[in-house]
Amino acid sequence: MSILRKPFKYSNFRAVYWLIGINVLVFAIMYFLENRYSVRMLFSGRRLYEIDLITYYFSMNPYFVIENGFVWTFVTYMFVHGGFTHLLFNMFGLFIFGIQVERQMGSREFLLFYFVTGILAGFFSFIFYIVTGQNFVWLVGASGAIYAVMLAYAVLFPGSVLYIWGILPVRAPIMVLGFTAISLFSMFFSRNSNVAHLTHLAGFVFAWLYFPVRFGMNPWRRLRMR
């Protein structure tokens, strides 16, 4: 058996709750440090920035990855959020979809999936920012990994029906296609938005690739099941 497809021994130690707890803890520390401890810097000798320590050391910034070697931020950016609403929506999505995906995959597989897709989504965004000259973008949030979890939910539970606003029934695959369309539209027509739509799409793409590489599973065939 290929090492890429060697399964983990199944266990469920509720990794989703640990991830949510870490995200909330980081946000609380970030809130406490705001306006107390910060870093002042000049970027390219022109613009003066003042940011909190958590954002400086843990969000992904292409300039600091290259100049200062902040490579760990490809992981840590997933635990930094730009505000309470950002944190709330991401953790709600992780709770709703992640628990079911973790229960199906097992905690070790789920954590591998979560971090692989999140790291690759961040790295892909990094490459895009460098190529397009957006060297001083702060990438924060677990959205890339959570969009990957949403795709995994649709692939693993293609017949599942979700209720938008508790009223409108939508099958999970339709929901995923809808979010993909929204991210594509927003990426091309909302250029001034602070939302990293490219990272969302990258999360979908790397989650899609994870299934055939890791499980030998065709996501499209699963999504078409009823």
> Please, which pLDDT band fits residue 177 given cuts at 50, 70 and 90?
confident
- Residue 1's pLDDT is 60
pLDDT higher than threshold 70 for residue 39: no
> Please, which pLDDT band fits residue 22 given cuts at 50, 70 and 90?
very high
Q: Domain range for residue 20?
A: 11-223
In a domain, 2, yes or no: no
Task: Give the tens place of pLDDT for each residue, 68-116.
Answer: 999 999 999 999 998 899 999 999 999 999 999 999 999 999 999 999 9
What is the distance between the terminal CA atoms of the chain, rounded to a whole angstrom?
31
> Any idea what DSSP says for residue 52?
E
pLDDT higher than threshold 70 for residue 44: no
pLDDT higher than threshold 60 for residue 14: yes
- The amino acid occupying position 140 is V
In a domain, 70, yes or no: yes
160 and 172 in contact (C-beta within 8 Å)? yes
- Residue 33's pLDDT is 76
CATH code, domain with 61: 1.20.1540.10
pLDDT higher than threshold 90 for residue 37: no
In a domain, 23, yes or no: yes
- Residue 104's pLDDT is 97
> Please, which pLDDT band fits residue 130 given cuts at 50, 70 and 90?
very high
In the chain, at which residue ranges do the beta strands (DSSP E only) sit? 38-43, 47-52, 161-164, 168-171
In a domain, 41, yes or no: yes
Centre a 10 Å sphere on the Cβ of residue 106 and count the other Cβ atoms it contains.
18
- Residue 174's pLDDT is 87
Rounded to whole angstroms, how far apart are CA atoms 54 and 197?
Answer: 23
94 and 146 in contact (C-beta within 8 Å)? yes
Rounded to whole angstroms, how far apart are CA atoms 73 and 127?
Answer: 14
Total of domains in the chain:
1
Q: What is the mean pLDDT of the chain?
A: 86
The two structure tokens encoding residue 142: 């677990």
Q: Among 47-51, 97-101, 128-132, whose mean pLDDT is lowest?
A: 47-51
In what helix (H) or strand (E) does residue 12 lie, and over which residues does it extend?
none
Task: Give the tens place of pLDDT for each residue, 190-216.
Answer: 554 545 778 989 999 999 999 999 999
pLDDT higher than threshold 80 for residue 51: no
Q: Which residue has the higher pLDDT, 117 or 34?
A: 117
Task: Give the tens place of pLDDT for each residue, 160-174.
Answer: 887 776 678 888 888
- What's this model's pTM, rounded to 2 decimal places? 0.90
